[in-house]
Amino acid sequence: MLKCVATLISLLVLLLSLPHAQAAISISSARIWPAQEYTRLTLESAKPIRHNLFTLQNPERLVIDLEDVDISAALNELAGKIGNNDPYIKNMRVGRFKPGVVRLAFDLKTEVKPQLFNLNPVAEYGHRLVLDIYPAIAIDPLMALLTQPKSKLPEVIEKTAAASGVPATPESSKVAEALSELPPSAAPGTSVKPDKPLVKNIPEIRTRTLVIAIDAGHGGEDPGAQGYNGTHEKNVTLAIARKLKEQLDEMPGMRGVLIRDGDYFIPLGGRVAKARQLHADLFISIHADAFIKPDARGSSVFALSERGATSATARWLAKKENEADLIGGVNIAVKDPYLARTLFDLSQTATINDSLKLAKHMLSELGSINTLHRGVVEQAGFAVLKSPDIPSVLVETAFISNPSEERRLNDDNYQDKLAGAILGGIKRYFANNPALSRQKLAQSE
């Protein structure tokens, strides 16, 4: 009898060890993040998924075969999440291709350049299979800027864009030069603080249009910090960024450009690279972080440090922000040597000094509408501030982990005030540090 039982147990162990006897992997969550720059699709599961990807032409299609995967409710619901506004996916189908293989078939709107990769568990996420669908011809941010409505800019910009005929290639730098040498426009007005008027006539500013890159922190798979009542940092930062752009575009001689204009993820280095492609004069990264203590409160402004953080809080926040790439999901198989040089060029002492000046003015303006966390500009090794040639600051508008500050961050009027304070700091910076023309910049290099 005991011998029979032992034999049955041995057979059971053998059967369980066979590949076809293993339980199929269940997709626990399927998410899609459409954006003009690229569309991301994420499948989350308890185990890594083996996969195969290929494309078909006439018409354009994308196919992914998933091995040993169940057709779960999350997969079945995925097709319904494809919106008409997706720039790349027309529709999709899910079905059992053959035993042990589930096929995802995507009908595309245009020719694409897909990337498919696995991400290991991090934070609250399990294993993720990520599909990034990029356009076959990458979007040039400078050309995108020039083709946007420009009712607040001189009419000559429209003529420059229309007459240039420059395709979305590195040659678009010619258009950048045309943009930078616009005829004089009116000088910016006064600061948002009535007790700190600016110099009204700044000839240097009128030599060209100033481009301000506005970076809304986090996005897509990376929600950022979460407030006590469930507010996600990525939504607050985008709302404030959009308000800042509106206010900047109202200023003659200035133009705001959103690094992220939707709920999607951009790697930290990609944010820096985009600002440089836009020939931005300043880079403003907007955040509303959390701290381990719910009573932490107040606004802060940070600049880059090459020598370590100025406080334990600054060090903690920088570490937390720099983990965004792990949470948001970066395809480490894709190497960009240009980007690597951008992020690790440490010959940027002059840029850091200018960043500190900008941060000081911005902190002073923020102090008029909110408590300051420390009252001095802090420094730490934030990856998103590592542009070697663009003064860059990171603004912690408030602590979203503080219930009272979370409520204020969700208030439309207070978001306007925060944007106004940031704009006030920008205007004060240029009043004291007039921007050079592109021609003068070239001569100084």
Whether 326 and 225 map to the same domain: the answer is: yes
**pLDDT for residue 31:** 96
- The structure's pTM equals 0.80
Whether residue 165 is contained in a domain is answered as no
Whether 108 and 195 map to the same domain: the answer is: no
Whether residue 192 is contained in a domain is answered as yes
**pLDDT for residue 241:** 98
CA 55 vs CA 21, 37, 63, 307: distances in Å: 31, 20, 6, 48
User: How many independent structural domains does the chain possess?
Assistant: 2
* Domain that includes residue 311, residue range: 184-444
Selection from 99, 175, 186 nearest residue 141 by Cα: 175
**pLDDT for residue 334:** 76
First and final CA of the chain: distance in angstroms?
A: 90
- DSSP secondary structure letter of residue 219: B
Whether 56 and 128 map to the same domain: the answer is: yes
Selection from 116, 120, 7 nearest residue 51 by Cα: 116
- Record the tokens describing residue 140, joined without a space: 């040039």
Q: Pick from 101, 119, 135: which residue ends a domain? A: 135
Whether residue 41 is contained in a domain is answered as yes
Q: Pick from 77, 110, 135: which residue ends a domain? A: 135
CATH number at residue 220: 3.40.630.40
CA 239 vs CA 214, 219, 301, 308, 434: distances in Å: 11, 12, 19, 31, 29
Whether residue 224 is contained in a domain is answered as yes
- Record the tokens describing residue 188, joined without a space: 């910016």
Q: Pick from 135, 165, 198: which residue ends a domain? A: 135
Packing angle, helices 155-164 and 173-180, rounded to 10: 160
Per-residue pLDDT of the chain in tens (445 residues, 90 and over written 9): 555 555 555 655 554 554 444 578 999 999 999 999 999 999 999 999 999 999 999 999 999 999 999 999 999 999 999 999 999 999 999 999 999 999 999 999 999 999 999 999 999 999 999 999 999 988 777 666 665 654 444 443 333 333 333 334 443 444 444 444 433 333 333 333 333 433 344 444 345 799 999 999 999 999 999 998 999 999 999 999 999 999 999 999 999 999 999 999 999 999 999 999 999 999 999 999 888 778 889 999 999 987 888 888 888 888 889 899 999 999 878 765 545 545 545 456 788 999 999 999 999 999 999 999 988 999 999 999 988 889 999 999 999 999 999 999 999 999 999 999 999 999 999 999 887 654 444 444 4
Whether 203 and 313 map to the same domain: the answer is: yes
Answer yes or no: are the C-beta atoms of 286 and 215 closer than 8 Å: yes
Whether 128 and 207 map to the same domain: the answer is: no
Answer yes or no: are the C-beta atoms of 39 and 116 closer than 8 Å: no
**pLDDT for residue 145:** 66
